[in-house]
Structure 1
Amino acid sequence: MPKLKITPHQPRTLVWWFARRHNIDFNPPYQRKGRLWSDQDKGFLIDSIINGFDIPKLYLADFQYGRSKLNEKSLAYSIIDGKQRLETVFDFFEGNLTLNTDFVFRNDPGLRLGGLGLKDLRTAYPFVAEEFENFNFDIMSVYAEDENDINELFVRLNRSKPLTGAEVRNAISGPVTELIRRLTEHTIFDESIRFSTKRAGDQNAAAKILLFEYEDKPVSTKKSVLDNFAKGESVDRKKLDRSRLELSARRVLDTLNEMEEAFLPNDILLSSAGLFPVYYWLVRAVRPEYQDDIRPFLIWFEMERKKHRDDQKDLGPEAVVDQQFARYDTLNRSTNDAISHRGRFEILKAAFQAYLDERYDMTSALSFRD
């Protein structure tokens, strides 16, 4: 059998697929996160299905062709492209979705069906329910022996779609991608951060701090740099050292554990993905005995920074300019530049030491690790 084979799947109704939903892996490694569509978007898909409009092809890794080392979960299918569409269909079957309020059934526009669910349609309008249940998706079965082939297919299928850099990198096979996925399993990404993870925002943040650790300093986290990192290259374009990379990941996990202690669940301080790497590097630098002071300091710093911005806006030229806040705001406009990462960290570091000096009447910089 060829290493990569793509053939049309035997036509099956949506009812048939729904009955086998538990035999489909919706979260293979290369997939973007689910539940990205709004209810309005989902309703529009159901509208298109019921009214007989064409739906783009779906692609499934079909493990019924034979045994495959890629079938880690021992399921019949794995989603390659079409996750949102299948999730939407299953939501409608399970009663978690209704027709949009402006829905019009083209075969009988006089029917008022907006807001109804599939259960309602089965009871009052079974012929409409049948249009949905008996619809056939155009599904392509994919057999591959190498994960790189599936990753390449995923990227090619999504080439014209607005994938984020992190979503594309997630389809790159290699140790960096695997470590990034492992890091995002840390509870800080589930419980503490507030920035969105729907478009792989957590993986993007994890990639940045892993790169920081590997380089042992804040560096540029622009897309091209992170792409090269995922492909196995350091900032200076040298091949990554696997042992050093593994050690860097362990250090990241240690610091994330400290961050989990320093920040609250759903912490407002972790609302910005652009600040997360800087806060990470600050926590990494602070001695354990002062970890409890990090959050109160950052709350104070952000309140003072906001007050400074408000003064600049309200008082204009008469406002007193605080250089640390002014520079921090300037650096915060380019969150992926190496200068921005390092500059914001140095400002926070100096401000934190001053904060401790005043609070504990300290006279020397003993709050940071060597």
Structure 2
Amino acid sequence: MLKVISHDPKPLSWWYEQYLLGRINMAPAYQRRSYIWSTWKRAHLIDSLLNDFDVPKFYVANFVEMHVQALNKERKSYAIIDGKQRMQAIFDFFDGTLPLNPSFVLDDAPDLKLGKFTYVELKSKFPTLARKVEGFVPTVMDVLTDDEHKIEELFVRLNSGEAATGAEKRNAMGGPVPAIVREIVLHPFFQKKIRFDTKRMQEHNLATKLLLIEYRQGFQDTKAAKLNEFAEEAKRWADEQPEDRLDLGPFGAARDRVYAVLDALSPEFHERDKLLSSAGQIPVYYWLARERPDLLPELHDFLDELTVAIKDLIAGERLQPGRADPELVSYYTMSRTTNDQSSLENRYRILVKRLQAYVGPVRGRRRAV
């Protein structure tokens, strides 16, 4: 038999208390294999709670309502079935081991500097916000069954719709890369700063490019075929790992480096910045933030002037062909082939050279782009 019913509404503070009392089995034998979330993604869940976003349902085996010895050898009141990563992130926040992301912004009070705050600090300085997390009432579904196979089938049914979203083929490949990309596009850089169209998941495409470049630690061809090969490579790697391995190895490490670079790059751009209207330019800006963070404070003003210079270049070529700055012509021409490794490398080289000249030998002294 299988019965799924709503649990009596209880706030997160109540569930945390059950956890502290040892009444929740977070890793029952029938828990499906799931990779550990990155620290950034776990903290992003707390971000969602503080900014009044909803979170998906949790599913737990309720042994208070239905005691089944075969499924409850640990003699707990509850066992997590679906939502383990989310539940653990919440408990870690209450424990003080999971601070808010450095880039956290409270939408109702964006001027408050709350990045890296722990639960204790939040409770001390902004108790109303702490109570918002404590008092949040999640939707928890009780699963009543005496058949472990029914739980396994429930796993499949709960997650079978994840790939059937109408997204690009790569998003449905499985393995680490699509999952990581779905995390990366939650970063504020993608959520608030980019300006290009995302109706056909172009932001996923860009995030995959950044992940590939970071994983290889250098510019690569980023055409669709190469991105697909990268996703397949990661899937093969994951398939070869032992069942008890939960981390994402080198792919997880690359993901974490992407977060760190985006944390540095994002503050340099405005919300829905016109300079981020073209996804094809962003890998070059990303690599500059990674390799030359010392130049970042001047990047936005420089790109503003570079945009004007390119418009003047185009207009000048029409009037006086062949008299324009050849290096700037080269940069503009290569910008039309955004996915070629050589284009990325040469655009980066030109960008750094001209940005250095713009900044000048003494910070604050600027020259024409």
1:356 is aligned to 359
- Partner amino acid, structure 2, of 1:338: Q
Q: Which residue of 1 aligns with 2:305?
A: 300
In the alignment, is residue 314 of structure 1 matched against residue 315 of structure 2? no
Rounded to whole Å, the distance in 2 between the matches of 1:253 and 1:224 is 25
In structure 2, what is the equivalent of residue 331 of structure 1? 334
What is the CA deviation profile of residues 308-339 of structure 1, one whole-angstrom value per residue up to 9, with x for unaligned ones? 11100122x3x522111111122112111111
> 1:313 corresponds to which letter in structure 2?
R
Higher radius of gyration, 1 or 2: 1
- State whether structure 2 residue 289 is matched by structure 1 residue 283: yes
Q: How many Å separate the matches in 1 of 2:196 and 2:285?
A: 14
Alpha-carbon deviations, 1:117-153, whole Å to 9, x = none? xxxxxxxxxxxxxxxxxxxxxxxxxx88658x94798
**Does 1:251 pair with 2:257?**
yes
Q: Report deviation, 1:171.
A: 1.0
Deviation, 1:358, is 6.7
Does structure 1 residue 269 correspond to structure 2 residue 270?
Answer: no
Matches for 1:190-229 after TM superposition, within 5 Å: 190-229=191-230
Do the aligned partners of 1:184 and 1:202 also contact (CA within 8 Å) in 2? yes
Contact 1:184 1:206 in 2 (8 A): yes
d(CA) in 2 for partners of 1:212, 1:280:
10
Distance 1:70 1:201 in 2: 33
1:151/1:171 contact within 8 Å kept: no
Tell me, in whole angstroms, the C-alpha distance in 2 between the residues paired with 1:71 and 1:294: 44
Quote the Cα distance in structure 1 between the aligned partners of 2:190 and 2:260. 14
Judged with a 3 Å threshold, the aligned counterparts in structure 2 of structure 1 residues 355 and 243 are, in CA distance, closer, same or farther, namely same
Contact 2:177 2:234 in 1 (8 A): no
Aligned positions of 1:25-40 closer than 5 A = none
Shift in CA distance, 150/265, structure 1 to aligned 2, threshold 3 Å:
same
Structure 1 segment 63-142 matched on structure 2, within 5 A:
none
Report the secondary structure of 1:321's partner residue: coil
The whole-number CA distance in structure 1 between the counterparts of 2:335 and 2:200 is: 22
SS in 2 for 1:170: helix
Contact 1:174 1:230 in 2 (8 A): yes
Equivalent-residue separation in structure 1 for 2:343 and 2:226 (angstroms): 15
Aligned residues: 211
RMSD of the alignment, in Å? Answer: 3.3
Residue 168 of structure 1: aligned partner: 169
In the superposition, the TM-score normalised over structure 1's length comes to: 0.51
CA contact (8 A) 1:283 1:294 kept: no
1:176/1:286 CA distance change after superposition, 3 Å:
same
Equivalent position amino acid for 2:224 in 1: K
| Contact preservation (8 Å) 1:151, 1:172 | no
CA distance in 2: counterparts of 1:146 and 1:230, whole angstroms: 22
Distance 1:70 1:330 in 2: 54
Alpha-carbon distance change, 181 to 314 in structure 1, aligned in 2, over 3 angstroms = same
- What secondary structure sits across from 2:339 in the alignment? coil
- Tell me how far 1:247 sits from its aligned partner: 1.3
Q: Are the aligned partners of 1:192 and 1:265 in contact in 2 as well (CA < 8 Å)?
A: yes
TM-score (norm. length: structure 2): 0.51
Q: Give the equivalent residue in structure 2 for 1:31.
A: none
- Whether the aligned pair in 1 keeps the contact of 2:82 and 2:155 (CA below 8 Å) is no
Task: Tell me the distance in 1 between the aligned counterparts of 2:154 and 2:336.
Answer: 44
Q: Does 1:346 align with 2:352?
A: no
> Distance in 2 between the 1:260 and 1:273 partners?
14
Indicate if the aligned counterparts of 2:176 and 2:234 stay in contact, CA closer than 8 A.
no
Q: How far apart, in 2, do the equivalents of 1:305 and 1:224 lie?
A: 31
